[in-house]
Amino acid sequence: GEQATGSAHAKVILLGEHAVVHGRPAIALALPHLRVTVVATRTTGAATLRTEEYAGPLDRAPDVLGPLVTAARATSEHLGCSPAGVDLAVRTGIPVGRGLGASAAAAHAIVDALVKLHGSELDEEGRFDLVQVAERVAHGRPSGLDARATRASGALLFRAGRSTPLPVALGTSLVVADTGVRGTTREAVADVAAFVERSPHRGSVLLDRLESLTLAGAEDLAQDRREALGGRMTAAHDMLSELGAGHPALDRLVEAAVGAGALGAKLTGGGQGGCVLALAPTPEDADRIVDALESAGAVGSWVLPPAASGAAP
């Protein structure tokens, strides 16, 4: 039958994860290497969903696919169409539970495919709202950062639900490496909130410092201040670890990256597993840092070259 394809990409958080849940700003970068695509096909029967782990009626999809089911239903309702008569085939190259925005990207791809299949139009705010409905199923109370960053290109500064494109003149590469340990953003967010409740003074000191690092980091990006940015990244890693988002596997990769010459490194995203982000002194140093990360146990790695991190939004 008639078909339409939707897609979205992964993201990494440069600075400000967790603090953003507490009203502070954060910086996200698109990771266009990793994508999810959804092919929506008109059928005659009930709505169906196909992923790597499931193929069957939308109504009977397992709980882990709840956010995707929600995205499909909410989009159909918004467009005034029945979810029936559509097959959604999801193909994702974004590992889940690694802080790369897999759930938000998949929801965006579903929204995009259905909007196109139904010949409708939907502006960015409309798309954002539908993805947030799905993200609430995935995360509880998502800040909205993933829903913005998995659609936007380049870098963005996010605060209180709004995002603005950030100018980037960074002349070097960022390396993303996966610990292979699955972190649950929902649990990490709850653990950080519990820390702040238990130790309100220390909690707000750390959140304020993360905010300062983020705002200064935005300047570093615009002015290609690499050493300063690297230092802020490592400082943020230590603060996030103190707040409860750390994991020994993350520390191991941060140490390996810095040992191989990275100007700084930190966990990225929800933490308690997932990925680290490391800043190479020059683009030529990225391969050496990747090798060190893989020797230290990384199960996957991606290099964001200067052109990608600096793409004008």
Quick one: residue 265, left, alpha or beta (phi over 0 = left, psi -120 to 50 = alpha)? beta
87 is catalytic: no
Cβ 284 to ligand PMV shortest distance, Å: 29
Cβ 16 to ligand PMV shortest distance, Å: 7
Q: Which is nearer to ligand PMV, 4 or 243 (CB)?
A: 243
Q: What is the distance of C-alpha 123 from the center of its chain?
A: 21
Q: Which is nearer to ligand PMV, 58 or 130 (CB)?
A: 130
Among the listed residues 87, 112, 129, 146, the single catalytic one is 146
CA distance 76 to 80: 6
Say if residues 142 and 101 touch (Cβ distance below 8 Å). Answer: no
Say if residues 282 and 156 touch (Cβ distance below 8 Å). Answer: no
Q: Which is nearer to ligand PMV, 117 or 175 (CB)?
A: 175
Residue type, 170: L
Q: Which is nearer to ligand PMV, 1 or 23 (CB)?
A: 23
Q: Which is nearer to ligand PMV, 146 or 220 (CB)?
A: 146
Cβ 61 to ligand PMV shortest distance, Å: 21
CA distance 103 to 146: 9
Q: Which is nearer to ligand PMV, 22 or 127 (CB)?
A: 22
Cβ 170 to ligand PMV shortest distance, Å: 20
Binding site for ligand PMV (CB under 6 A): 13, 17-18, 20-21, 99, 101, 139, 142-143, 145-146, 185, 189, 269-270
Cβ 246 to ligand PMV shortest distance, Å: 13
Cβ 203 to ligand PMV shortest distance, Å: 15
Residue type, 2: E
Catalytic center residues: 146
